[in-house]
Structures are given as structure tokens and as C-alpha cells.
A = this chain, B = another copy of it.
Amino acid sequence: MTRLDVVTIGNALVDVLSYEDDDFVARVGVERGATTMVDATRSEEIYREMGPATEVSGGSAANTAAGVASFGGSAAFVGRVADDAFGKIFAHDLRSAGVTFESPFSGNDLPTGRCLVIVTPDAQRTMCTYLGTASALDAQYIAPDIVGNALVTYLEGYLWDQPEAKAAIRKAAELAHRGGQRVALTLSDPFCVERHRGEFTELIDGNVDILFANEQEILSLYQVDSFDEALAHVRGACEVAALTRGSRGSVIVAGDDVQVIEAHPTQVVDTTGAGDLYAAGFLYGFTQQRPLEMCGRLASLAAAEVISHLGARPETSLRELASRVLAT
């Protein structure tokens, strides 16, 4: 196995996206802007209510891997899909994006997971995830020749919603640190932080080197009211924290080094994947040993590309975009 820049571990999902009006979210009864976990029956019910949809591969951590590959970095993804149409679409899209994906098809009769993405006129997305076989991620699928070989092992917070995945997460973090590599975590969603605050705080304290969170998530994690308080907390907890603030850009903290990065201007169509691609740009820069400020600019550029169209993966080569826009 050759050396990898980044391996990401998360729920393998195909996104089913449709444009809906604001009433739709209220009618379906889910939390606007957040991710709600649903079972197979509820997923079918909501799908029946949705308008004509577009299917594209998604899954937060998988989107990040695709982003790293689009920059020209070497990336792998670990997660589970079934041997069905959605599973084949997921595997195809990831591999053809240049991402190493070797997790075997699961054989547990659960279908490939799907995420119903409701895009409202304000370009905000509301997500309803049915995990399906994505939940079958246990420790045996954390291949040491993949995780041990990556400069950064990136975990999505959504994994904590599956009790079985916890052993896999621990194994991945141990393998990474044993090889002297970095562990990165994204908090994923404010409600996810609500559900797992204790475990996240414990993990971050000593086991996470690079933390990604948006403003709501980091305020919720430390149960504080101001961004500055959250910043003070996170500064001591991990080597680097990259905190995103939507259109107000992001702040990167590494000990005494604080970089304030502007959002890259764009026409927003669909915010799905903004955080995932921010992480991709950051991690690509980080593994190329670029200064933190450039990591932040690459992150903002990737996020801007993905929110300018429907779907959570880049539609243009981020490598070419970066060389044109940032002259990297």
C-alpha cells in the first residue's frame, strides 16, 4: 500500500435531492437545516412526498475524500454499502473520482443508506438519513494498511449515532496515532453534538489533533454563548481547530496562531457539502504542509465550488480551480 494523504471514515450514503418550498419541511415535521435520522419506513414516506429528485453520491466523509482527490491528493474512504443499485453507484462515483474504496459489499440484507436532501429556496438543506447497511461498520473493516498509512485519519461525528461503530472509531484513532499520524474529527451537526457531547469532549481532549466544527456546533459542544469563549476552550484541546461561520468565513486556531479566513465569494445554489469540502481543502493543504492561512483559503475555495451547484461533491477539478484562483 502506498502512502495516503487522507483516509476518511463515515456513513456511505447516496443523496436523493429535491427542491421544495419552505412549507414542505414543516409538513414533514423534521428540523430545518439539520440532519434527522429516520428508519426505512419513514424514509419511504418522506420520499413519496418529495418532488422529482436527483440522485448523487454523498455521505459527509466520502464527500471529503472526493474533495481531497479532486485537489490531486491521495485519499481513501472506509464505509459500508450493499450490493445493490445505490451501492454500485456509490462505489463507482467514489472510485472514478480517484478515491481508494476497498470496503467489501455488506451481506446483511440491509440496503445501501440514503439521505433525502430537501433544498429550500434559501439554498439551505434539510436532511433525513436512513443509514441502511452503512451502520454495519465494525472494527474489522478498519484495515491497518489503509488507516495506518494515511497522514490524516478523518472521522465524521455522525458515526457516533451507531453504537457498533464506536469500536471501529477507537481502532482507527489508535492505528493512526501508533503510526505517528494525525486524527481529525468533524462534529457534523449541532444535534449530533447534543446527542454525544460527553463522548466528543472526552475524545477531543487528547485523541483528536484536528477539529472541524461550525459555529453552532462548537458553541453547543462547550455550552457557551460566544464564539470567543468557544475559541478559548478549543485552543488548548487540540493541535488545530478550523471553525466555520458560513458567509462570515472561518477561523483557524493552532495554539497562538489564529488565522481569520474570508468566505470565497460565490452564487449559492445548495449548501449541501459545504462543511465536507471545507475539510477537504483544509486537509489537502495540511498534508501538503502548506501554511495554515493557505489551508484555510483552499478550504474556502472548495466550499464555494460545492455550494454553487446541486450536490455535495465537486463538479470541476479543484486542482485546476486552485491553480487558477489562488495561483497555488
Listed in ascending order, the chain A residues whose CB lies under 8 Å from chain B are 19, 47-48, 50-57, 66, 84-86, 89, 92-94, 96-97, 311, 313, 315
Residues of B within 8 A of A315 (CB): 19
- Give complex CA distance A94, B94 in Å: 28
Question: A55, A311, A313 — which one has the most chain B CB atoms within 10 A of its CB?
Answer: A55
Q: Can you list 28 A-B pairs with a CB-CB distance of less than 8 A?
A: A19-B315, A47-B92, A50-B92, A50-B96, A51-B96, A51-B97, A52-B57, A52-B66, A52-B92, A52-B93, A52-B94, A52-B96, A52-B97, A52-B313, A53-B89, A53-B92, A53-B93, A53-B96, A54-B54, A54-B55, A54-B56, A54-B311, A55-B55, A55-B56, A55-B89, A84-B85, A85-B85, A85-B86
A50 to B93, CA, bound (A): 9
Give chain B nearest CB distance to A65 CB in angstroms: 12
Judging by beta carbons under 8 Å apart, are A92 and B48 in contact?
yes
Q: List, in ascending order, chain B residues with CB within 8 A of A311's CB.
A: 54
Chain B residues near A56: list those with CB within 8 A. Answer: 54-55
CB distance from A154 to the nearest CB of B (A): 20
Nearest-neighbour CB distance to chain B for A12, whole angstroms, equals: 14
Distance between Cα atoms of A48 and B84 in the complex (Å): 16
Chain B contacts for A97, CB-based, 8 A: 51-52
Least CB distance from A77 to B in Å reads 13
Least CB distance, A113 to chain B, in whole angstroms: 13
Q: Give the distance to chain B from A59, nearest Cβ to Cβ, in Å.
A: 13
Q: Which of A54, A57, A97 lies at the interface centre, i.e. has the most chain B CB atoms within 10 A of its CB?
A: A54
Contacts of A53 in B (CB 8 A): 89, 92-93, 96
Contacts of A86 in B (CB 8 A): 85
Q: Which chain B residues border A96 with CB–CB below 8 Å?
A: 50-53
Identify 4 new A-B residue pairs, CB closer than 8 A, beyond the known A52-B94, A54-B54.
A48-B92, A52-B92, A53-B89, A53-B92
**Residue among A85, A92, A311 with most chain B CB within 10 A:** A85
Chain B residues, CB < 8 A from A89: 53, 55
Complex alpha-carbon distance, A94 and B84, angstroms: 22
Q: List the B side residues contacting A85 at CB < 8 Å.
A: 84-86
Which residues of chain B come closer than 8 Å to A47, judged between CB atoms?
Answer: 92
A111 — nearest CB in chain B belongs to which residue? B85
> Residue among A86, A92, A311 with the most chain B CB within 10 A?
A92
Bound CA–CA A238/B84 (angstroms): 47
List B contacts of A93 (CB < 8 A): 52-53
Distance in angstroms from A92 CB to nearest chain B CB is: 7
With A and B bound together, what is the CA distance between A7 and B296 in angstroms?
54
The 9 closest A-B pairs by CB, nearest first: A85-B85, A55-B55, A52-B93, A51-B96, A52-B97, A54-B56, A52-B96, A54-B54, A85-B86
